[in-house]
Structure 1
Amino acid sequence: MIVALIIACEVGFWVLLAAGLAVRYLLKMRCTSVVLLLCEPILEVVLFVVTAIDLKRGAEPSWEHGLAALYIGFTVAYGHYTIRWLDGHASHRIAGGPHPPKPPRYGMARARHEGRIWARTVVAAAVACALLQGAVLYVGDAGDVSSLRSFQGAALRAAGIHGLIALTYLIWPRKGPAGVSEEESSRTLTKR
């Protein structure tokens, strides 16, 4: 049941996002699109509540509950970023707006960009670990919480691996082709 709800939340995220952007750029109804886009966090709240109710009713903590926590953490950290990224592309493609900026490709500008993306992964892991710890405390000694603990480890490993990848951009910055300065590379990305 939890996996089906996670899938439904993911589908709902993309349906609400597509509807919100279509209403914004095709129907020119900005306020309505904002309301549609603000409905997206409700999906995560529903998933959280249903997962808590499932545990309250005595369900054995399983990988499904861990996956729900990871999904919520990822959505909290990357949801707004994804919406803004797609909004920029929809504005360009549908409404004739400016081309959205690309991330920098070279030097320290790229390292800073990768560091900001890694920080989002750290937030995702922190949210997931906090939710999982709450579930562990909620279940208490009544059930086997090893699967929840393993998902905490998975979240921390993902943040660690992503951190190592981001660190490689800092230690070994990629050099741009001749004639492209780091300053020009850093102008391709606006702060979000």
Structure 2
Amino acid sequence: MIVWIITAEIAFWIAIMAALFSRYILKKLKLSTFLFILVPLIDLALIVFTIMDLRNGAIASSAHGISAIYIGVSIAYGKTMITWADEKFQVWFLKINLNKKPLTGVAKGMKELKLFGQHIIAYLLGSSMLWLMITIVGHQEDTTALEQVWKIWSLVLLIDGVISLSYILFPTKKKTFLANIGL
């Protein structure tokens, strides 16, 4: 199962980079659009392979749970990841200076809250997928790994929420090291 997840992740980034290359270097907008359309199809394929694997009697594992997380994150953050890749492509390959200034203060806090909102969406989508898998498997002893993945992700979501809120409660006043390197 982990091979499918890794394959989906690699295919995801290849499709995005090929779409950006087609858009900016080849100037082929239709090809670029087609390649961007492949991105959600890759997620769909991972969903199908995960459910088929479980229906064929595979013991539910952490890898199946990770595939649910991958799908939720890919759907919730997909546009953000593509925008990030688009900006990096323009800077690295086209040598365009986008003059993006690191955010500080309330603006940084609002961005972090928006990203936390995306995390909540990813969590809801991925959790739905996890509980669907648990329902498909149906045996309590066979779903322990999936439940553990869900518990860990729930904790991660809680920690992310606290950190995101801290940017509003304690806004930064100047650039931090991470802001200086573009993170």
Could you list the structure 1 runs, at least 4 aligned residues long, displaced by more than 6 angstroms after superposition: none
Does the 8 A contact of 1:89 with 1:99 survive in 2?
no
Correspondence for 1:80: 79
Give 1:142 deviation, angstroms. 7.3
Normalized against structure 2, the TM-score is what? 0.88
Equivalent runs, 1:1-192 vs 2, <5 Å: 2-95=1-94, 99=98, 101-104=100-103, 106-141=104-139, 144-176=142-174
Normalized against structure 1, the TM-score is what? 0.84
**Percent of aligned positions that are identical:** 30
> Can you give the 5+ residue segments of structure 1 that lack an aligned partner in the other structure?
178-192
* Cα deviations by residue, 1:100-147 (Å, 9 ceiling, x for unpaired): 63451x221111011001111111111111000111111113752111
Distance 2:35 2:151 in 1: 35
How many residues get paired? Answer: 175
CA RMSD of aligned residues (A): 1.8
Deviates more, 1:134-143 or 1:53-62: 134-143
Larger Rg belongs to: 1
Deviates more, 1:35-44 or 1:135-144: 135-144
Does the 8 A contact of 1:89 with 1:100 survive in 2?
no
* Cα deviations by residue, 1:30-61 (Å, 9 ceiling, x for unpaired): 12101101101111111111110111111111
Report the residue type matching 1:147 in the other structure: A
Report the residue type matching 1:137 in the other structure: T
Give 1:160 deviation, angstroms. 0.8
> Can you give the 5+ residue segments of structure 2 that lack an aligned partner in the other structure?
176-183
Deviates more, 1:133-142 or 1:26-35: 133-142
